Structure 1
Amino acid sequence: MALVAKPSSGDQGGDAPHLVFIPSAGMGHLLPFSRFIAALASQGNVDISVVTALLMVSQAEAEHFAALFAAFPAIRRIDFNLLPLDDATLAGTDPFVLRWESLRRSAHLLGPLIAGATPRASAVVTDVTLASQVIPIAKKELQLPCHILFSSCATMLSFLAYFPTYLDGANADHLVGDVDIPGIGRIPVDYPPNVLRNPDSLFTKQFIANGREIAEADGILLNTFDALEREALASLRDGKVVPGFPPVFAVGPLKSTSTEKEAVHGGASSSIAWLDEQPARSVVYVAFGNRNAAALEQIHEIGAGLEASGCRFLWVVKTTVVDREDTAELNNVLDDGFLVFMVNGSDIDPENIIAVTLDDLSEDDRRELEQELKKEMAERLKLKLTGYCKTRIGVVKKEWVDQEAVLRHPAVGLYVSHCGWNSVTESAACGVPMLAWMMTLGDQRLVATVIRSAGFGLWLEHWSWDSKSSLVRVAEIAEKVKAVMGDEAISARAKEVGREATKAVAPGGSSHRSMQEFLAALR
């Protein structure tokens, strides 16, 4: 259910605690912040201010914040003008990691901003990427409790918290082998972000600094629920991972807000309108997040693989890391090989589409195919230029979709995902099975272990986007999509996970209790 904006109790003259939120950058980090803020604001018993760093990296971030403040006018906005980051040694660094560094180097300016907030701040909630800078400012300079809103899974939190202990034991300044985490188990060296093997990486330095400081926080908020990560949460709470670790509040799955919704029934190009026409559990939803851009060659393999699977699909294509730079049209992304091949007026059997080439056709069939392709191309070109393309059995989009609405739709039977944590919690909450296909640069491999251990999806560890040599080809994509779509055991387990997620956030559920415990701690 969409959250409805309400005035905070601070505007009603009450004694509500005043929380100051300090998010960082990247939609994967901002979404849990906005959802948690919206949940608190809707309760009407918490005063909220949000520190907003200017200028934002992506257009999606700017629009997201604008919508949040419009929907909840009682939330105060504290603009934070960052110091320029003129450092030639950082050339080529990921733009979002650069933004984290810019925030960290400007963090000393936060003290006066927060100290001047009215009413007086009761506590600070910040992103883990800023922990090493913000925790000392909040606790020592401002004498305020500081909580961390962690944007990944409990397993990743365990790895971050234990990593400094691992480094001290290995007498190293970077990842040099497997990591044995008490209460969690062995994490193979290729599961954590690959960049941690590089001691000179800015990300590695940030990660270690934040890992050393996070134990000083007053609490950790997680977008997860007990039934999904029971063992990892218990190990953190019991002090097995790090003795004396702060309280861990599992408050998920956090729901999307009305600020994230699109007009899903607004015209012929609406993904929901198309889903409404499809049979139950017949559609594969394919999306790889806000920051994962596949190479064009891999995109071509995905397209052909989806059509060869014979399954209906809704595919969101992304070609750049930063949306401001995304100017490619679908007709420049999807090649002619993605067109539906027609021979004598009939579709070629999807089972055999991989093997069919022009050399297999007679001269007459070849001429007929050429004419069919020209007609098909003309129609598709019109659609591709609008960022929306229909194929024989699927829809391809470049623009944003209401992902939760898609996952809730009864027509969707599988989610092929990069394993961003927000996407995993949404799929779990909606009871949709997952096929995990991630990059190795972030936390996605550790996230994929949650999917595998919870039993509601399949993770093929050798699938990657890292290099040309690791391209996943058409035949394997088609085979695995069909296999998971037809796996009744995975489907049944996904539905059970969805029911557990619903129980967690209902009154008396584990996440509902955690939220109440967090609010009680503030008072």
Structure 2
Amino acid sequence: MASETMKLPHVAVTASPGLGHVIPLLEFSKRLVIEHGVHVSFLVMNTNEQPSAAQAQLLQSPNLPPGLQVVDLPPVDVSAVASVRFTRLCTIAEESLKSLRSVLMEIGKPQALIIDLFASQAFDIFSELSIPIYSFFTTSVAFFTFALYLPTLDREVEGEFIDLPEPIGIPGCSSVRPEDLLDHVRNRKNDDYKWFSFHMRRLPLAAGIFLNSWEDLEPVSLKAIREHRFYLQIPTPPIYPIGPLIKQDEPLIVSDEEYLAWLDKQPSDSVLFVALGSGGTLSAEQLAEMAWGLELSKQRFIWVVRKPSDATAATYFNVGSDVNDPKTYLPEGFLDRTQGVGVVIRSWAKQAAVLRHPSTGGFLSHCGWNSSLESIYHGVPMIAWPLYSEQRMNAALLTEEIGVAVKPVLEHGKKVIEREEIKRVVRLLMESEEGKVIRHRVKKLKESGVRALGKGGSSYESFACVVEKWKEDEATK
């Protein structure tokens, strides 16, 4: 069996640290193995710190298919690494990639290497090895067009982008309001901007770029990349929309069965799922307003809570590992008053299992791209609650262009979204006619996403196009 596996095309895949990067690239790898007969070495970046419980469970799952080999890269010592989330992520990736050449030679030279967007030093490492490198872009196509435009923006704009008086025009696409810009470009003098700009400038070096989206979800941005003179002149590498790649299966434990059993007893489309991604956290004041807003809405809910923190991504590197007691930070009496109407889960829940459940009718989400795709794929409309990174840009896309989300309003001069506004937007999504329109729209996109991934669908064929090239290259060896 082993010898048969090694005859298949062999590619290596590596993701930057963090579940938001690991999950889509692991799903990408599974599809390569299961549907297209490719042998995949999935290379995991590690540090000398304990890995997050959620990531360890994901990568050690007994459900990983034969032909998908998880390979740990030597751990990076992070004792001297910056604590700022994005700079820390990029530094860990850079240090991890230094061992990549020797690891790949050990497991067998692959026909191709697939990296995510913050591992672009691989282009330097493999420039003389004749291994084509593909980039997997972990967020939206709309954001990809912004990334391609950033070097031009950097060259033409003086001062800070955030201070521009008008929205930023992206060639062939919707404009981006300065206040929606991702964190990494809001201060051009700091390390985050230098890292982000460095990696985005190198996107054209890729042999091709995989996009976690599909034709019907973002037709305007895809058309722009294929036809607009700006992107053709860069030149932009071949693009392969292969989404929606989302987490399809998760092993359940006893605590998961408890909230899923509660969901079984609720009416169809009646429960709001509140979860802010693998790293998202709220301040103490905002957490209290969220609790009151949910209670006042009188809607059923499942809420994944974490200890309050003024850092919006406090659990990014240790998701599922933090220990907390909701009684110590939720409003007094909240758990008693909402008993039977709501369920509170500490730290981490099996998101895919909740979203696919027929009782789940809404998702208050941080708008990370993986979570957004999961919600659409399972036909669940969203309340957009962006926190960090590119999530404000995703929220604008989901609400204004795709039309599958609503967004609460932060009053001018206020630091938190208040309970009455939370109550209003929850009821709007779950009860109103406007909510029904959004629900209908997302259900249509769900059907479209399923078709795209199925045999003969646009994403399946986009996948197959690249795999066929790898197989032909293997045959000519």
User: How far is the alpha carbon of 1:44 from its aligned partner?
Assistant: 6.1
Which of 443, 466, 470 pairs up with 2:415? 470
Which of 202, 207, 213 pairs up with 2:191? 202
Provide the residue aligned with 1:378 in structure 2. Answer: none
Provide the residue aligned with 1:40 in structure 2. Answer: 32
Structure 2 matches for 1:277-296, cutoff 5 A?
277-296=265-284
Distance 1:511 1:181 in 2: 25
Distance 1:415 1:216 in 2: 37
- State whether structure 2 residue 357 is matched by structure 1 residue 409: yes
Query: Does the Cα contact within 8 Å between 1:126 and 1:147 map onto a contact in 2?
Result: yes
Which of 98, 101, 105 pairs up with 2:88? 98
Provide the residue aligned with 2:311 in structure 1. Answer: none
Provide the residue aligned with 1:396 in structure 2. Answer: 344
User: How far is the alpha carbon of 1:105 from its aligned partner?
Assistant: 3.6
- Return closer, same or farther for 1:281/1:173 CA change in 2, 3 Å cut-off: closer
- State whether structure 2 residue 297 is matched by structure 1 residue 299: no
Which of 60, 68, 79 pairs up with 1:66? 60
Structure 2 matches for 1:496-507, cutoff 5 A?
496-507=444-455
Matched AA of 1:331: K
User: How far is the alpha carbon of 1:399 from its aligned partner?
Assistant: 4.6
Matched AA of 1:16: L
Instruction: Provide the secondary structure at the position in 2 that maps to 1:179.
Output: coil
Unaligned stretches of 5+ residues in structure 1? 1-6, 342-389
Provide the residue aligned with 1:373 in structure 2. Answer: none
Matched AA of 2:151: P
Deviating more after overlay: 233-242 vs 478-487: 233-242
Distance 1:461 1:336 in 2: 26
Matched AA of 1:208: S
Query: Does the Cα contact within 8 Å between 1:421 and 1:447 map onto a contact in 2?
Result: yes
Distance 1:426 1:268 in 2: 18
Which of 447, 471, 494 pairs up with 2:442? 494
- Return closer, same or farther for 1:241/1:326 CA change in 2, 3 Å cut-off: farther
Query: Does the Cα contact within 8 Å between 2:30 and 2:68 map onto a contact in 1?
Result: no
Provide the residue aligned with 1:371 in structure 2. Answer: none
Provide the residue aligned with 2:397 in structure 1. Answer: 450
Unaligned stretches of 5+ residues in structure 2? 308-313, 472-477
User: How far is the alpha carbon of 1:225 from its aligned partner?
Assistant: 1.2
Instruction: Provide the secondary structure at the position in 2 that maps to 1:141.
Output: coil
Provide the residue aligned with 1:345 in structure 2. Answer: none
Distance 1:42 1:108 in 2: 30
Distance 1:446 1:86 in 2: 33
User: How far is the alpha carbon of 1:107 from its aligned partner?
Assistant: 2.6
Instruction: Provide the secondary structure at the position in 2 that maps to 1:323.
Output: coil
Distance 2:347 2:94 in 1: 32
Which of 180, 205, 221 pairs up with 1:232? 221
- Return closer, same or farther for 1:449/1:299 CA change in 2, 3 Å cut-off: same
Distance 2:179 2:71 in 1: 40
Matched AA of 1:292: G
Which of 122, 140, 144 pairs up with 1:153? 140
Instruction: Provide the secondary structure at the position in 2 that maps to 1:336.
Output: coil
Provide the residue aligned with 1:167 in structure 2. Answer: 154
Which of 264, 270, 273 pairs up with 1:276? 264
Equivalent pairs: percent with the same residue?
Answer: 28
Matched AA of 1:484: L
Provide the residue aligned with 2:322 in structure 1. Answer: 326
Instruction: Provide the secondary structure at the position in 1 that maps to 2:58.
Output: helix
Structure 2 matches for 1:113-262, cutoff 5 A?
113-118=103-108, 120-131=109-120, 133-138=121-126, 140-170=127-157, 177=164, 178-238=167-227, 240-243=229-232, 244-258=235-249, 260-262=250-252
Which of 19, 23, 30 pairs up with 2:15? 23
Distance 1:114 1:176 in 2: 45
User: How far is the alpha carbon of 1:332 from its aligned partner?
Assistant: 1.3
User: How far is the alpha carbon of 1:71 from its aligned partner?
Assistant: 2.7
User: How far is the alpha carbon of 1:325 from its aligned partner?
Assistant: 6.2
Larger Rg: 1
